Amino acid sequence: MSYQGFRSLLPKKDLYSFLVLALILVVVLPLSLDIFRLNLVGKYLTYAFVAVGLVLCWGYGGILSLGQGVFFGLGGYAMAMFLKLEASDPESTKIQSTPGIPDFMDWNQITELPFFWEPFYSFGFTLLAIILLPTILGYIIGVAMFKRRVGGVYFAIITQALAAILTILIIGQQGYTGGVNGMTDLRTLHGWDIRTDNAKYVFYFVCVFLLFVCLFIAQFIRKSKLGRLLVAMRDKEDRVRFSGYDVSNFKIFVFCVGAIFAAIGGAMFTLQVGFMSPTLVGIVPSIEMVIFCAVGGRLSIIGAVYGALLVNFAKTSFSESFPELWLFAMGGLFIAVVMAFPNGLAGLYNTYAAPKVDAFFAKLFGKTPVSHSSPPTPLPSKPTNTKTESVTLPQGVVHEQ
Amino acid sequence: MFAEYSSSELLSIFAMQGVAGLILFSVFVLMALGLAIIFGQMGVINMAHGEFMILGAYVTYLTSHVFSTYLPDFFSIYFILAMILAFIAAAALGALVEWAMIRHLYHRPLDTLLATWGLSLILQQTYRTVFGPREVGVTLPDWLMGSYQLTESIELPINGLFVMCLALGISLAVALLMYRSRWGTQVRAVVQNRPMAGAVGINTGKVDRVTFALGCGIAGVAGSAFTMIGSTGPTSGQLYIVDTFLVVVFGGASSLLGTIASAFSISQAQSTMEFFMSGSMSKVLTLLFVVLILMLRPQGLFTLKVRR
Amino acid sequence: MNKTLLSSFHVSPRTQGAGMKTWKKCLLTLAASLVFGNAQAADVNTTGLAVTDTTVKVGILHSVTGTMSISETGSVQAEKLAIDQINAMGGVLGRKIEYIQEDGASDWPTFAEKSKKLLVNDKVAAVFGCWTSASRKAVLPIFEQYNGMLYYPTFYEGLEQSPNVIYTGQEATQQIIAGIDWVTKTKGAKSFYLLGSDYIWPRTSNKIARKHIEKLGLSVVGEEYYPLGHTQFNSVINKIKLKKPDVIYAIVVGGSNVAFYKQLKAAGIDMTKEKPLVLTISVTEDEILGIGGENMVGAYAAMKYFQSLPNENNKKFVADFKAKYGKDIVIGDVTQAAYLGPWLWKAAVEKAGSFDIDKVRAASPGIELTTAPEGYVKVHPNHHLWSKTRIGHARTDGQYDVVFETKDLIEPDPFPKGYQ
């Protein structure tokens, strides 16, 4: 890529925020945290994948999916199936009535490996499945919904129902899926023990690397014409449609991208935590992932990462000292973010901290400050009811509908 | 599977299964009605709907407690009073929430979804702190328990009949309110064209608040009624949410008839399938069936044509 | 589970002679600690656990938030009561127990995270916790990797035997077989309808029940599972009416429980008439609190403990429990099993003369508790407890009358031959 191209993809301001995040994730955290805490950060980062995808879908595309857990689960389960098969070789499952199949199948009187498990012996296929399964499902859902112009609350509820369906299905078909227990006791990846501290370090850095790949893709989409079209669609879908664009195709594309990000997060979750269970598929985690994105700032892909990290840090430390208070805090956070800071941490930063930081750098280098245009439009708002008057937004920006 | 039964046995089973379907239908209507009113009016799904229902259930529990301690003679009628109190409590909380939260978010329906989810977390933890994490048992007056023997082999559960009557009564009351009262005219005017409604002097903010409070109040009554058939605990509200949302979305916005039709079709599908296959599979199939139909007909069963 | 794990159980064969020896050794240690005072922390803790000269840290890991807090609250209360009582008696090896409580939040990954924190960061000497099988499965690899000790209180499906877990509740066969034998012998039951919530414990338990019923030459006329949290049971009740079984064998859990029994009663099935008779293994006194005694009256439950057990140990336990948590509190089977955890751990530590996990594990088989509220229990080499199974008959006030008790202790058999 030419220098010019690079600069247009990553303007100075974005470059700095990428660098700061990289510094924190690659240098500061690994040096300051023990492996237990670092592993936790790795787990939180897997949620950040979902949150980054949500920034694209929701912040830019105006599509709120309350079922991202479905894709997280698909990725996680695909990876778990591969690891489970490796952990259930005939030698270590000798005491079962049918050796060589996963233990939960044996408990459910299944005597041979179901056909759809067979391909998961191959690591290559598993990786392919992690990308392809969510793409296909996302495409089907996308075509069915967006071609028919379903959006807003309808889409949110339908995706939520999908999360419920998948959870009930996984729990009900426990012979094939491990049921409510999930797939536990995953041990090795190609003979390499994934439970050791060394493996945890490796997975952490793999996770950070993949996250940055996703961030770059997201940044590319954001800066491309597609990104601007998404924003235009979000704010006035009909005008984009009347300009001759097929709106639904863009939505389908960005929804699939979000799905793939979520699936990669799920697969990394399985590797770092060592198991996968239906509690990560259902409605509650799906909605929690939306809040990570909202806290970080629904228009900021970097903010989404901070959002996921901070909310989970808060959750862990709160629930260690005041478990009862945690739900109050979480609920309050939902309400506060939505009502008072709709642009999340990124919005707060841009409003309050950014001018000072710029002034500081300007002083340091004796240059004019980088201009801080806030993200394309200050707030995503896609009215589905009949309000057509201009609306005053919390930050005092008048937004002509 | 029916070969080994006599025709009279089959007849009574089908009759009872029909009643089971009707009870499920009534339960769905009660669950969804309050939500549907709010959804129709503001295009907003209230994610704390289940918690408003449980508020009604806890009010019922408290009332039963008060009656059994102080007024044991009147215990048989406490349930009626409890439902009224449940309505008042839930409606009051609803009005408060509308005033403090929802009215600031009308132009951002998706954000309302998130804010009400936050509210539901807070309410859950409040119930847990106040009433303890364990479920509470609500004692019912004797006349609400047991069953009514219609013929030798057909028995009708009395609480089911009660839920049916309640669903019918509330639906009728809401229909009357919507289509025969001045307030209903205002609501419909606001739904169809908010700026015009405002221009002719309707206080749209007030209409919104009353609608929201009414929706929550109905949820409270539903919760009160569900103490007869379900559990009352801090997280019991979660058991109902998916079904409720689907009924409302499936029915289509702004149409009471749609909500009732969708409750009817979902409940009949579910209870019929439950009879022929395992509970888990029938649940999955019902949900899938609803989602598929929604994909084919995204606007729901019935829609009101409005200028957007 | 691989073979090496299994074989580690058979290192110390439990024979009468060895039992005598360890008993003597235990007395000796006790005497020694009386004479010489406290042993140095370094002597009783060679592996760097959180043990000082005066204190020892343990973990309590249950859900206090989320859907499972309904069930797990009782276990937390029982474990804290036991710890308080042990501390009042002078602690373990002269050390006061301090507990670190963590919230699993009804979420299995959170259980895994918290158990790791307890073992790796807090270096606790033992963990009392988990309730659902799913949470136990989630923490199990962590306990095995970091060599911790978990005391798990819930009756569960069996099919597991970890060197790092002591199962203080009953495994499925202990609970099920005695119950089914009792209804067939005493009540002459011939046909059964199996019903459960859709997850591994009910499914495995019903599998064992079905095999046993078929062995006895009787019939299973239906088997049904409903998703967790299901609230509408009218259809299945109609199916039951159609099939007319002698026994409804119900393993419904959580909020569904309440819905099921209320609707059963409303549908005109009066359980006091025992036509059909309802036998459950999932409804303890804790659950009846939510269901309401008047909706449960007449049902039978098969488990190892009921609050109404008339022995002296239990009377004291119930009185202590009520003194600490209020007179309206009820105690279910799992609560009692959770109460056993700290006591069994204390006995094992004192027998081993050390807090080291490996020594405690080696000392655990053969540990006896004569003061258990359920009566006498003993740890089997497979880490489960020998226990009696009782049949309770539900009263209107939410308590059970104990109508039957197995004569002998039942041997735990987590991998029952012929039932898989």
Which residue is listed with tokens 């449940």?
Answer: B86
* C-alpha span between A296 and C82 (Å, rounded): 45
What CATH superfamily is the domain C3-170+312-386? Response regulator (3.40.50.2300)
Question: Pick from A1, A21, A48: which is nearest to A304 by CA?
Answer: A48
Pick the more confident residue, A366 or C28.
A366
The answer to which of A353-367, C231-245, C265-279, C304-318 has the lowest mean pLDDT is A353-367
- Chain A and chain C share a number of CB contacts under 8 A equal to 110
Q: pLDDT tens, A292-313?
A: 999 998 899 999 999 999 999 9
How many C-beta atoms lie closer than 10 Å to residue A198's C-beta? 12
Model confidence at C27, pLDDT cuts 50, 70, 90, reads low
How many C-beta atoms lie closer than 10 Å to residue A150's C-beta? 21
- What is the pLDDT, as a whole number, of residue C388? 94
- What is the pLDDT, as a whole number, of residue C38? 58
How far is A383 from chain B, CA to nearest CA, in Å? 6
What is chain A's alpha carbon radius of gyration, rounded to the nearest angstrom? Answer: 22
C387 bridge partner residues: C410
Q: Mark out the alpha helices in C37-151 (DSSP H runs).
A: 41-44, 69-88, 108-116, 133-145
- What is the pLDDT, as a whole number, of residue C297? 92
How remote is the C-alpha of A236 from its chain's centroid? Answer: 26
Is residue B178 predicted with pLDDT exceeding 80? Answer: yes
Q: Decide if A387 and B107 are in contact by the 8 Å CB cutoff.
A: yes
Q: Is C262 at the interface with chain A, CB within 8 A?
A: no
Report the percent of chain A where pLDDT is more than 90.
43
In chain A, how many domains are there? 1
Is residue C207 predicted with pLDDT exceeding 60? Answer: yes
Is residue B122 predicted with pLDDT exceeding 90? Answer: yes
- What is the pLDDT, as a whole number, of residue C227? 83
Model confidence at B150, pLDDT cuts 50, 70, 90, reads confident
- What is the pLDDT, as a whole number, of residue B303? 62
The answer to which of A316-325, B180-189, C1-10, C131-140 has the lowest mean pLDDT is C1-10
Model confidence at A378, pLDDT cuts 50, 70, 90, reads very low
Task: Determine the length of chain B.
Answer: 308
Domains C3-170+312-386 and C172-303+391-405 share a fold: yes
Indicate the residue type of C284: T
Is residue B305 predicted with pLDDT exceeding 60? Answer: no
- What is the pLDDT, as a whole number, of residue B15? 81
- What is the pLDDT, as a whole number, of residue C226? 87
Indicate the residue type of A286: S
Parallel/antiparallel/unpaired status of strands B147-149 and A398-399: unpaired
CATH value of C172-303+391-405 in 3.30.920.30, 3.40.50.2300, 2.30.30.90, 3.30.420.10 = 3.40.50.2300
Q: Decide if B230 and C258 are in contact by the 8 Å CB cutoff.
A: yes
Residue C43's Cβ-count burial label (10 Å; 0-12, 13-18, 19+) is: exposed
- What is the pLDDT, as a whole number, of residue C55? 94
Model confidence at B1, pLDDT cuts 50, 70, 90, reads low
Model confidence at C241, pLDDT cuts 50, 70, 90, reads confident
The interface residues of chain B toward chain A in range 282-301, judged by CB-CB distance below 8 A, are 283-284, 287-288, 290-291, 294-296, 298
Q: Is B150 at the interface with chain A, CB within 8 A?
A: no
Q: Mark out the alpha helices in C228-311 (DSSP H runs).
A: 234-243, 255-266, 285-291, 293-296
Which residues lie closer than 8 Å to A69 by C-beta, 6 or more apart? Answer: A163, A166, A280, A281, A282, A283, A285, A286, A289
Q: Is B113 at the interface with chain A, CB within 8 A?
A: yes
Q: pLDDT tens, B31-71?
A: 899 998 888 877 788 899 999 999 999 999 999 989 888 88
- What is the pLDDT, as a whole number, of residue A9? 79
The answer to which of A64-73, A149-158, B191-200, C275-284 has the lowest mean pLDDT is A149-158
Model confidence at C23, pLDDT cuts 50, 70, 90, reads low
Model confidence at A272, pLDDT cuts 50, 70, 90, reads very high
- What is the pLDDT, as a whole number, of residue C420? 67
Distances (CA, A) of C236 to A287, B17, C53, C260, C279: 33, 10, 60, 10, 16
Is residue A101 predicted with pLDDT exceeding 50? Answer: yes
- What is the pLDDT, as a whole number, of residue C95? 93
Q: Decide if A158 and B291 are in contact by the 8 Å CB cutoff.
A: yes
- What is the pLDDT, as a whole number, of residue C305? 95
Q: pLDDT tens, B153-162?
A: 777 888 888 9
The answer to which of B6-10, B82-86, C9-13, C45-49 has the lowest mean pLDDT is C9-13
Model confidence at A266, pLDDT cuts 50, 70, 90, reads very high
- What is the pLDDT, as a whole number, of residue A377? 46
Q: Decide if A334 and B117 are in contact by the 8 Å CB cutoff.
A: yes
Q: What share of chain B is helix, strand, coil (3-state, %, to 5)?
A: 75, 5, 20
Report the percent of chain C where pLDDT is more than 70.
90
Q: Is B96 at the interface with chain A, CB within 8 A?
A: no
* Residue C379 φ then ψ, to 5°: -85, 125
Relative orientation angle of helices B109-131 and B49-70, to the nearest 10 degrees: 30
C269-275: long-range contacts, CB 8 A cutoff, minimum separation 24 = C269/C237, C269/C240, C269/C241, C270/C298, C271/C296, C271/C297, C271/C298, C271/C299, C271/C394, C272/C297, C272/C298, C273/C298, C274/C187, C274/C298
Q: Kindly identify which residue of chain C lies nearest to residue B273, measuring between CA atoms.
A: C235
Pick the more confident residue, C165 or C48.
C165
For chain C, domain boundaries: 3-170+312-386, 172-303+391-405
- What is the pLDDT, as a whole number, of residue A1? 55
Domain coverage including residue A207: 3-399
Parallel/antiparallel/unpaired status of strands C247-251 and C191-197: parallel
Q: pLDDT tens, B213-256?
A: 999 999 999 999 988 888 888 888 888 888 888 888 888 766 78
Q: pLDDT tens, B15-32?
A: 888 888 898 999 999 989
Q: Decide if C238 and B233 are in contact by the 8 Å CB cutoff.
A: no
- What is the pLDDT, as a whole number, of residue A390? 36
The answer to which of A392-396, C214-218, C357-361 has the lowest mean pLDDT is A392-396
Touching partners of B (3+ C-beta pairs < 8 Å)? A, C
Is residue A348 predicted with pLDDT exceeding 80? Answer: yes
Element (H, E) at B41: helix B7-42
Considering only CB atoms, which chain B residues are within 8 Å of C67?
235, 238
Contact assessment for residue B142 and residue B130, using Cβ atoms and an 8 Å cutoff: no
Q: Which two tokens stand for residue C329?
A: 């509190």
Mean pLDDT for all residues in chain A: 85
- What is the pLDDT, as a whole number, of residue C16? 41
Instruction: Return the ∠ at Cα A381 (arms to B188 and B300), rounded to 5°.
Output: 45
Q: Which two tokens stand for residue A94?
A: 């000798």
Contact assessment for residue B158 and residue B148, using Cβ atoms and an 8 Å cutoff: yes
- DSSP state letter for A183: B
- What is the pLDDT, as a whole number, of residue B308? 40
Closest in C65, C227, C415 to A168, CB measured: C227
For chain B, domain boundaries: 21-240
Residue C34's Cβ-count burial label (10 Å; 0-12, 13-18, 19+) is: exposed
- Chain A and chain B share a number of CB contacts under 8 A equal to 149
* C-alpha span between C101 and C50 (Å, rounded): 15
Which residues lie closer than 8 Å to B228 by C-beta, 6 or more apart? Answer: B140, B144, B159, B162, B163, C262, C266
* C-alpha span between C176 and C178 (Å, rounded): 6
Touching partners of A (3+ C-beta pairs < 8 Å)? B, C
- What is the pLDDT, as a whole number, of residue C213? 94
- What is the pLDDT, as a whole number, of residue A367? 58
How many C-beta atoms lie closer than 10 Å to residue A264's C-beta? 27
Is residue A318 predicted with pLDDT exceeding 50? Answer: yes
Distances (CA, A) of B15 to B9, B10, B22, C297: 10, 8, 11, 28
How far is C13 from chain A, CA to nearest CA, in Å? 21
What's the ipTM?
0.85
Model confidence at B167, pLDDT cuts 50, 70, 90, reads very high
Model confidence at C280, pLDDT cuts 50, 70, 90, reads very high
Closest in C225, C267, C286 to B280, CB measured: C225
Which pTM does this prediction carry?
A: 0.87
Q: What share of chain C is helix, strand, coil (3-state, %, to 5)?
A: 45, 20, 35
Model confidence at A359, pLDDT cuts 50, 70, 90, reads confident
